[in-house]
Amino acid sequence: MRIWIAAAATLAFAAAPALAGDAEAGKKKAAEVCAACHGPDGNSPTPDFPRIAGQYEDYLAKALADYKSGKRDNPIMQGMAAPLSDGEIANLAAYYAQQKGLVVR
């Protein structure tokens, strides 16, 4: 039983994107690819697009990887994520995770 748990944990860890992103490189890529919809800092100026600033880095990396692979079904995001390398995904996730998100009072 312990072997199965260890094997499952190993597989889950191996399937997750590595999180060693460069936030400065992510900022540059975000300006090129993401800012038109999500805003320059991830705080979309319109309710038509989600605010991604301040989200957890691992969540953002997994979401982008899932759009790229087709696990998340959104034609617009699939097209945006498809050309991204694993490093660019990690960089974008690092950048947006460091931004100040929406504060609700």
Extents of the domains making up the chain: 19-98
Tokens linked to 36: 């038109």
Which tens digit of pLDDT belongs to each residue from 86-99? Answer: 999 999 999 999 99
Confidence of residue 31 (pLDDT cuts 50, 70, 90): very high
Please tell me the class of the 19-98 domain. mainly alpha
Tokens linked to 86: 């694993």
pTM of the model: 0.80
Which tens digit of pLDDT belongs to each residue from 33-80? Answer: 999 999 999 999 999 999 999 999 999 999 999 999 999 999 999 999
- For residue 62, give the H/E element and its range: helix 57-69
Confidence of residue 101 (pLDDT cuts 50, 70, 90): confident
Is the confidence at residue 6, as pLDDT, over 60?
no
Whole-angstrom distance, CA of residue 9 vs CA of residue 28: 34
